[in-house]
Structure 1
């Protein structure tokens, strides 16, 4: 019995150490990513104001955090929305100008069709046609709608006629469908990822700037 108690104590101590180390690692990764994203805060605020969506500056920062953590020449991953191809920008400034402009376009279209904000955010990943799809199906983005669109519309459109999937690990994806996405079907969890990252942005506002 004493050996069992000692063994359990060692096991619990080991688990506690792993949890603490994991939390520290997660915290450090978030700190470095947020710090990098906030280096573009002034430019994003400027572009948001020029596009009449100044109230969505934190949302634009959250999209950047989701897309690239502020890394690379195209931190808002907006090249495809302008050129139809990736890696077409020469500077992060071009990426931000296009990314914020594209976000403004999506928000305007979503509002015009009576859709919620998160439909516009999900469309940043899926493309503008997703707004039309949601408008015809209740006007509010949901995981169920996003999955159906990814599976039955976007994925086949881009060549995945067999609805093949691949592993995608995340807490939400694990509990929702066991952790997978459709090949060529975008990320059906995108809006929720941005929502979580916007919470990180708003709760750290003023800390990095």
Structure 2
């Protein structure tokens, strides 16, 4: 009886993992279908921003399942989901990311600071520059708690569970309410690995 239960559990785990791998493969393949559009937009703007990084950010933001691919509406109009054209979403996203990367370079911080600033806002770059010059979970966590969350009304440090594998691995998956995503850069970093891996096939 015990062996039967053990085998049943193993089979269920294998099925769940197989389904998750299928979903990842499907979603990454869908995001990769936007590569030609991204290449065109980068050429139009004479931008040297890495297209794989943009694809990884699209995967992180929406997995290519929403019109506002890069969730860039708020940086454009101040209103979420106000962009109703995927190309415009990527144009705005590229504009914000490129500006962040330039500012990160000017402030002598790393590129992942610029990526995290896509989620937090570009003031985060100045914050990191004053605290060692390199993005980290600890810096992002402190900035989220002391700057982002209070600015949006969470002055008590209220948190909630964020069930994401990368977030769970790096910090138990806890986020501050209204405090942005402290794991954003790490998620993009991991998704960049997926994009590069899948691009080889």
Q: TM-score with structure 2 length normalisation?
A: 0.94
- 2:91 equivalent to 1:111: no
CA gap 1:175/1:35 in 2 versus in 1, 3 angstroms: closer
RMSD, aligned α-carbons: 1.5
* Residues 173-188 of structure 1: pairs in structure 2 closer than 5 A: 173-188=167-182
CA contact 1:165–1:181 (8 Å) conserved in 2? yes
- Which residue is equivalent to 2:96? 102
- 2:145 equivalent to 1:155: no
CA contact 1:37–1:64 (8 Å) conserved in 2? yes
TM-superposed deviation, 1:32: 1.7
- Which residue is equivalent to 1:63? 57
TM-superposed deviation, 1:206: 4.5
- Which residue is equivalent to 1:27? 21
* Residues 3-22 of structure 1: pairs in structure 2 closer than 5 A: 6-7=1-2, 9-22=3-16
| 2:50 alignment partner, SS class | helix
Q: Find the aligned partners of 1:156 and 1:164 in 2 and give their Cα distance.
A: 10
Choose from 120, 133, 154 the match for 2:127: 133
Work out which of the two has the higher radius of gyration on C-alpha atoms and give 1 or 2.
1
Q: Find the aligned partners of 2:52 and 2:170 in 1 and give their Cα distance.
A: 27
- Which residue is equivalent to 1:85? 79
Q: Find the aligned partners of 1:53 and 1:68 in 2 and give their Cα distance.
A: 23
- Which residue is equivalent to 1:3? none
Q: Find the aligned partners of 1:19 and 1:53 in 2 and give their Cα distance.
A: 44
1:184-203 residue CA offsets vs partner (Å, 9 max, x unmatched):
10000000000000000001
Q: Find the aligned partners of 1:195 and 1:19 in 2 and give their Cα distance.
A: 26
In the alignment of these two chains, the number of paired residues is 201
- Which residue is equivalent to 1:190? 184
TM-superposed deviation, 1:52: 4.4
TM-superposed deviation, 1:102: 1.1
CA contact 1:51–1:104 (8 Å) conserved in 2? no
CA gap 1:90/1:55 in 2 versus in 1, 3 angstroms: closer
